[in-house]
Amino acid sequence: MAAQYLATAAISFIEKKEDDSHTNLGWTDHSLETHPFPNGDSLRLNYENFSLEWQHQNGNKEHLLLNHKTHKEIVEWISEMSQGNGINKPYSYNLHYELPYPKISDLTTFNLTSQDRLNDLINHRDLAHQVITHVLKTGGYESSVRIWPHHFDTGAFFTTHDNLGNGLGMAIPDSLIDDFYLYVSGYKGHDIVELPSDTNLEKGTYYSNGWKGFALPVTGITEDEATRFFTNAINQYT
């Protein structure tokens, strides 16, 4: 839920794009980070110390520790940071998509219950970002690697010379798999490519009922195994 402060800052300060990509986030130094604001600054969510960081374009940072902070205090801090650093647009915590959380109020308070859980999230995001970046580079595919705040996957998308699209990334636990999982799917235009239902990999399962694509739970896998999963799954389409 804390990442939505970054999304709402992007909605408030960054020029809107039709595909909503102005709201997506990067992964840098164990932190989620917005695209640059009009003044060159950005906002980060640091997983290591559970804080929001106002990242100045000159490299300096100001931070707000989130443990025991209320929603109202956080909104006021972001407003003060933006106004004090030359951003004229007002900050508003206002989302245009639904979230699977209880409705937030001024008194909603953040409490850090497990640093180990945050460390697990860091490890998952590191693995996904490093492996996806490597697979894109070695395959000669063009795509950024971003985190989309409305469904929170680390994702990339590229199109080959024959107009085949591949989406790949890491999704959070959902009805498909009760674990963080890597995925690859194929598209022709807006239509998903369906492979034979018995298609499988050395590691990874092909799903054909509902969502169609390859998936592999993250827990316990190595970078090499993740790399082979992405490469082999992409090859099934290409």
pLDDT-based confidence at residue 163 (cuts at 50, 70, 90):
confident
Residue 87's beta-bridge partner residues? none
- How far is the CA of 21 from the CAs of 24, 63, 70, 136, in angstroms? 5, 25, 28, 19
* d(C-alpha 45, C-alpha 52), whole Å: 5
Instruction: Give the residue from 85, 90, 106 showing the smallest Cα distance to 11.
Output: 90
CA dihedral 187, 26, 140, 195 (to 10 degrees): -20
In degrees rounded to 5, what are phi and psi of residue 44?
-120, 155
Using CB atoms within 10 Å of the CB of residue 142, give its burial: 0 to 12 exposed, 13 to 18 middle, 19+ buried: exposed
Q: Is the pLDDT of residue 56 over 80?
A: yes
pTM, 2 dp? 0.90
State the pLDDT at residue 94. 87
Mean pLDDT of 143-159: 92
State the pLDDT at residue 1. 81
**What would the pLDDT profile of 103-145 be if each residue is shown by its tens digit?**
889 999 999 888 898 999 999 999 999 999 999 999 999 999 9
* d(C-alpha 109, C-alpha 74), whole Å: 10
pLDDT-based confidence at residue 195 (cuts at 50, 70, 90):
very high
* d(C-alpha 7, C-alpha 177), whole Å: 26
